[in-house]
Structure 1
Amino acid sequence: MVVPALTGSEARAALLRLLAERAYRRGSFTLASGRTSEHYVNCKPVSLSGQGLALLGASMLELVEPGAAAVAGLTLGADPLVSAVALQAALAGRDLDALIVRKEAKGHGTGAWLEGPLPPAGSRITVLEDVVTTGGSALKAVNQLREAGYVVEQVVAIVDRQEGGAEAMQAAGLGLRSLFLLEEVSAAQAELAG
């Protein structure tokens, strides 16, 4: 499917529909945090599709801090996101690289935690995340980036599940900007099932 050039509101509506169709499920689920929930959001069927990448890259780029030298995120959920945002930035003439934060240090070679073209220490980096529940994954990425000498003050997510992640970010001195709240995705899925 060819993705036509969409306006901001059209792109937002198309992305919400994709999330409702492909990412959201209602039932009984155990989340990564160990909590149980009747809502499950797995953004990978959207973030790993061509149409989803085009929409996510453009939408998330709009929320990245103007002074950021790079976007970064914890592997695996953020891998397609950082790539899509960096590509959209390049297409728009903006210099913005992508970094991937490993879940543990590389076991060989340099033992690196970070992969990608590393900007100079002190550079501003925006962290990207697919779904924020408690904020644990994003905070792990933030901590590794801060330890490497980068300034991280903002996390951009596709979906905020509204279960304490924003508060955890605030406690760590971070702002959380999300494309959608869980209630929006859930309502869109209910409307489609209608």
Structure 2
Amino acid sequence: MRARLLTLLSQQAYRHGQFTLASGRSSHHYVNCKPVSLSGEGLALLGSQMLQLVEAEAAAVAGLTLGADPLVSAVAMRAALEGRALDALIVRKEAKGHGTGAWLEGPLPAAGSTVTVLEDVVTSGGSSLKAVNQLRQAGYVVNRVVAIVDRQEGGQEAMRAAGLDLRSLFLLEEVAGFSAAAATPAGAQA
């Protein structure tokens, strides 16, 4: 399953070239996991692989909308198929402008419950930390962030500084290396 997921990510989520990231920095690597995380096969693989990294005591998985929306759903569904109670929460980027003004959507666990944050791509860790902060303010215990890809650009250090354990399915170097190897014809040198 892991090998198939790496193939999908390298073919559908990774690009090499010249890109401007959301942070404004430029990079030779671009990773957009949505073509994988919004496909049936990708969701099935991600749900299974990410669930393995969710804390055993977690009552829910959560993440910042939009990148984490399919991930929390896939992991919660995979957990249900395995007989494990695990709900999905979506953290809004800003409070709901009407009704309750909620930051969190989904079946809220009891205060003090452990919640694992899910993320598609971690660069500096800003999106994950925003989700973590909202969840902690709501009274939840957050100790771990699980990502599909760690771009290896400071996210690990930012998580550690916030008292978080970052676990990722893949490092950028794995996805980029697999993509480059797949693009090199047999017998040619990369």
- TM-score of Structure 1 vs Structure 2, range by shorter chain: over 0.9
Among 39, 55, 58, the residue aligned to 1:65: 55
> What is the CA–CA distance in structure 2 between the aligned matches of 1:188 and 1:39, rounded to whole Å?
13
Answer yes or no: is 1:82 the counterpart of 2:69: no
State the partner residue of 1:6. none
What SS does the aligned partner of 1:19 have?
Answer: helix
Q: Which residue does the alignment assign to 1:163?
A: 153
Per the TM alignment, residue 80 of structure 1 is displaced from its structure 2 partner at its CA by: 0.1
Is 1:189 aligned with 2:179? yes
1:34 Cα deviation (Å)?
A: 1.7
- Find the counterpart in structure 2 of residue 4 from structure 1: none
Q: What value does the CA root-mean-square deviation take over the aligned residues?
A: 0.4
Q: 2:144 aligns with which of 154, 176, 189?
A: 154
SS in 2 for 1:176: strand
Q: 3-state SS of the aligned residue for 1:126?
A: strand
Deviation, structure 1 residue 191: 1.4
Please, which of 101, 126, 138 is the counterpart of residue 111 of structure 1? 101
Relative to the length of structure 2, the TM-score reads 0.96
CA distance, structure 2, for counterparts of residue 105 and residue 50 of structure 1: 30
1:96 corresponds to which residue? Answer: 86
The CA distance in 2 between the partners of 1:86 and 1:37, in whole Å, is 33
Q: 1:125 aligns with which of 111, 115, 118?
A: 115
- Residue 15 (structure 1) aligns with: 5
Measure the CA separation in 2 of the matches of 1:35 and 1:168: 17
Question: Which residues of structure 1 form unaligned runs of 5+?
Answer: 1-10
Deviations, residues 63-119 of structure 1 (Å, cap 9, x unaligned): 000000000000000000000000000000000000000000000000000000000
* Number of equivalent positions: 184
Aligned-residue offset at 1:177: 0.1
**How far did 1:33 drift?**
1.8
**4+ runs deviating over 4 angstroms:** none
Amino acid at match of 1:31: L
> 1:79, 1:128 → 2: CA distance?
9
Q: Please list every run of 5 or more consecutive structure 2 residues that lacks an aligned counterpart in the other structure.
A: 185-190
CA distance in 2, matches of 1:146, 1:35: 29
SS of residue matched to 2:176 = helix
TM-score (normalised: structure 1): 0.94
- Alpha-carbon distance in structure 2 between the residues aligned to 1:21 and 1:149: 40
